[in-house]
Amino acid sequence: MELLGIEIPVFSWQTVLGSAVSGVFLGAIYALVALGLTLIYGVLHIINFAHGSLLMLAMYMVYFLWQHLGMDPYLAMLVVAPGGFVFGYLLQRGVIGRISHGKDEIILLATLGISIVIENAALFLFSADEKSVQVPYDLDGIDLGVTYVVYPQIAALGGCLMITAALWLFMARTDTGRAIRAVAKERQGARLVGINVEHIFAISFGIGTACVAAAASLLAPTYAVHPQFGYLFVLIAFTVVVLGGMGSFTGALLGGLIIGVTEQLGRLYLGESLGLITISAIFILILLFRPTGLFGQRLSQ
Amino acid sequence: MSKLPFRMTRRTFLQATAAGTALAAAGLAAGPRPAHAANVIKFGLIHPVTGFLQFSGTQCRYGALTAIEEINAAGGIKALDGATLEPVLGDAQSKAEVGAAEIEKFNEAGVAAIVGAYSSGISLATTQAAAKYGIPHVVDVGVNDKIVSRGLANTFRFGPGFGVITEAGVNGLIEINAAAGKPARTVVIVHENTTPFGSFMAELMKKGLEPAGFEVLDILPHPTPNKDFQNIALKIKEMNPDLIIPSHYYNENVLFLRTLQRQRIEPKAIYSVLGGASSQYRFVDEFPDAAQYVMDCNHWFDPRNPKAAALRAKTEAAGKSFSYEVFLAYTAVQFAADAMERAGSADRAAITEAMASSTWAGHFMPYGPTEMINGQNQGARPLITQVQGSAIEVVAPADYATAPAIFPRPA
């Protein structure tokens, strides 16, 4: 079969379905990385270039907890997620907030600078060697017939769903969640009703960082970490945020899954290199036809 | 407006300009000279120690620095009254253009020779930049055969190029398969396509294997870095080949082999050509199950040579993995230092000439005495290894084998 001069191969339905299912699990990983980003990028309008570096840093923490204390990477989430929150809070309060003076362009440069510092510090302290966490259940899983799904993949999807639900509940049901939404919609108004905007900014950055740290725990059994690790996912995570709608957790989840499945099917039919253009194609189409994203409209009102 | 500290007349201006021009011209005519003041010879090491090739670049740098340290500890370059080698380090940042820019700095620093630059793409650029200044450049790992076929008199490669490696890979596979009663017939080749070596290797393997009765079912390229091999695994599952021939960098090789394992894909053999991780001790230590029985046609040392065992022990004691990057960069520096001994000079042209006519045999690689033709060491060749238990055994060619090949691998 030929389309636009490109030879399209024919596969059995098992292979196509297997590819789509693996896309769902890959999409869950994208969504995991995008959840923290959508909070910071969407709600607070901070383009956080340090997101990938923070993911990498959290992966190292998970690795060291496993290597030195023998802690299972999923158990390590109980340490790295609160640790990520504190780190993110202090980073926003002590560095980004302090040097940006509320100007978006300075925030952008500040996060870029932080990412360079974190990446080079990791290279200096941890070396360029890839570090892998080995878990005994690495190969155990469920045979779906069309593909074999291992427990780390199931954990990533389950974790992604739970974190999305928890974030949604937090934003909808808690005072802090309401305050974050208030700051996102009308910063000055929020200040006038007595909300400490700087504190809310830092809390949001902290939650975003905690999310990416939780994602690191879920990625550790599958991927080796190295100082450049963040780049593998963070650019796609930006696309996921735009597709889902800035600030929407449900959007990030669905966006991640859509991108994951589209990418896998694109790679199956167009090849591993050319297939990646499907992500760029989605990005351009969203910007053209629905710039607010799938779930962005409600939040922009 | 502040006053000038002295009065500039037209005459003094012309005098100053003329004097300045003359000095600059004299400087340019002299050009940067290899610096060996105080009996020190500057030695350039260019590797990608940051960017996506940072692991391999760092390993190369470690190997090269270890060689320099040992040469200096053993009395330096004796023909030059014990001159010591002073490393000048460059980071190509995994980009060819950055590598070429670093060579400009090396020239200004006055290096006598250069070793680098791990990848073929970077090495093509650095050797060309070094050729402008006549700096002898030994390529440590870059396997693209274009590196030594452009007529650059300054460029040398001590190790094998991918033409020789792929040919050895094809012949080795044919022999191993024949010796086992030809259990394997169908093949899928998986290779990275970010650099030219993967595509070239795949085509050469296909051309070599098909006349020998193998059927290449598909060639599956992928980019580097790559975060997912599920699709490739599904395609392989559908084709169900007897043999899988992968060729990628370390990270992708590990992820690919683990994905095959996760998807329960068990071909009769996995036979890598420049497999990235397939003959790395680190991979065997971390993922012994995924690595088991994987064969690899790759750079390897003479397993009977005690010097190789000594370097391995030293490398592992330093907390590093004894990978091909380490021993190739180490040997490349030794080759360059030997050329300095033979030349009895730190002059770039003299070293280049000594490299071109070198007969150095004091290394631990399975290459025999050095013989350079157009900058390529003629005896350079890969060995075929197989992971057996926790060891990496040489299984072919027979004159270096430490164990027989286990082929096809047990179910």
DSSP state, B225?
A: S
Which residue's structure tokens are 């859509």?
A: A258
The pairing of strands B186-192 and B215-222 is parallel
pLDDT above 90 for B275: no
Q: A178, exposed or middle or buried, with CB in 10 Å at 0-12, 13-18, 19+?
A: middle
pLDDT above 80 for B51: yes
| Both structure tokens of B324 | 């091909």
Residue B45: closest CA among B120, B162, B123, B97: B123
Which among B50, B220, B238 is the nearest to A11, CB-wise?
B238
| Both structure tokens of A14 | 């098992």
Question: Does residue B264 belong to the interface with chain A, where contact is any CB pair within 8 Å?
Answer: yes
DSSP assignment of B355-401 equals: HHT-----SSSTT-S--EETTEETT---EEEEEETTEEEEEESGGG-
pLDDT above 70 for B34: no
- Give the other-Cβ count within 10 Å of A105's Cβ: 9
How many A-B residue pairs are in contact by the CB < 8 A criterion? 95
pLDDT of residue B24: 47
Interchain contact, A224 vs B49, CB within 8 Å: no
Interface test with A, best of B191, B195, B231 (most A CBs within 10 A): B231
**Binning pLDDT at 50, 70 and 90, where does residue B11 land?**
low
> A197 CB contacts (<8 Å, ≥6 apart)?
A183, A187, A190, A191
Determine the Cα–Cα distance for residues A257 and A248; give it in Å rounded to an integer: 14
Q: b/e map of A48-59 (b: 16 or more CB within 10 Å)?
A: bbbbbbbbbbbb
pLDDT of residue B333: 98
Tell me how many degrees the CA angle A21-A25-A27 measures, rounded to the nearest 5.
Answer: 105
**Binning pLDDT at 50, 70 and 90, where does residue B197 land?**
confident
- Report, as an integer, the average pLDDT of B261-277: 90
Element (H, E) at B287: none
Highest mean pLDDT among A59-68, A283-292, B37-46: A59-68
Interchain contact, B220 vs A272, CB within 8 Å: yes
What are the pLDDT digits (tens) for B288-340? 988 999 999 999 999 999 999 999 999 999 999 899 999 999 999 999 999 99
Which residues of B are less than 8 Å from A143 in CB distance? Answer: 264
| Both structure tokens of A55 | 């993911």
Which among B251, B263, B321 is the nearest to A147, CB-wise?
B263
pLDDT above 80 for A298: no
Share of residues in chain B with pLDDT > 70 (%): 91
Which among B234, B254, B289 is the nearest to A18, CB-wise?
B234
- Report, as an integer, the average pLDDT of A234-240: 88
Which residue's structure tokens are 């629905």?
A: A290
Q: A107, exposed or middle or buried, with CB in 10 Å at 0-12, 13-18, 19+?
A: buried
By CA distance, what is A136's nearest residue in B?
A: B287
Determine the Cα–Cα distance for residues B147 and A5; give it in Å rounded to an integer: 35
Convert A258-280 into a string of H (helix), E (strand) and C (coil).
HHHHHHHHHHHHHCCCHHHHHHH
pLDDT above 90 for A124: no
Question: Does residue B93 belong to the interface with chain A, where contact is any CB pair within 8 Å?
Answer: no
pLDDT above 60 for B9: no
**Binning pLDDT at 50, 70 and 90, where does residue B23 land?**
very low
Interface test with A, best of B234, B240, B252, B259 (most A CBs within 10 A): B234
Question: Does residue B182 belong to the interface with chain A, where contact is any CB pair within 8 Å?
Answer: no
Instruction: Work out whether the CA dihedral A97, A108, A231, A215 comes out positive or negative.
Output: positive
Share of residues in chain B with pLDDT > 90 (%): 72
Question: Does residue B186 belong to the interface with chain A, where contact is any CB pair within 8 Å?
Answer: no
Determine the Cα–Cα distance for residues B171 and B383; give it in Å rounded to an integer: 11
What are the pLDDT digits (tens) for B224-236? 888 889 899 999 9
Interchain contact, A264 vs B230, CB within 8 Å: yes
- Report, as an integer, the average pLDDT of A161-172: 92
**Binning pLDDT at 50, 70 and 90, where does residue B2 land?**
very low
Predicted complex: ipTM over 0.90: no
Residue A210: closest CA among A51, A28, A9, A27: A51
Which residues of A are less than 8 Å from B49 in CB distance? Answer: 128
Interface test with B, best of A146, A272, A277 (most B CBs within 10 A): A272
- Distance from the Cα of residue B111 to its chain's centroid: 20
Distance from CA of A251 to the nearest CA of B (A): 23
State pTM to two decimals: 0.80
User: Do residues B261 and B290 touch, judged by C-beta distance below 8 A?
Assistant: yes
By CA distance, what is A30's nearest residue in B?
A: B227
Question: Does residue A67 belong to the interface with chain B, where contact is any CB pair within 8 Å?
Answer: no
What are the pLDDT digits (tens) for A276-290? 888 888 888 888 988
Instruction: Work out whether the CA dihedral B289, B290, B292, B293 comes out positive or negative.
Output: positive
- Report, as an integer, the average pLDDT of A203-220: 93
User: Do residues B385 and B279 touch, judged by C-beta distance below 8 A?
Assistant: yes
Weakest-pLDDT range from B34-43, B245-254, B300-309: B34-43
What are the pLDDT digits (tens) for B351-410? 999 999 999 999 999 999 999 999 999 999 999 999 999 999 999 999 999 999 999 999
Dihedral-angle region of residue A255 (phi above 0 means left; psi in -120 to 50 means alpha; beta otherwise): alpha
Query: Which comes out higher in pLDDT, residue B194 or B9?
Result: B194
| Both structure tokens of B23 | 């000095």
Question: Does residue A134 belong to the interface with chain B, where contact is any CB pair within 8 Å?
Answer: yes
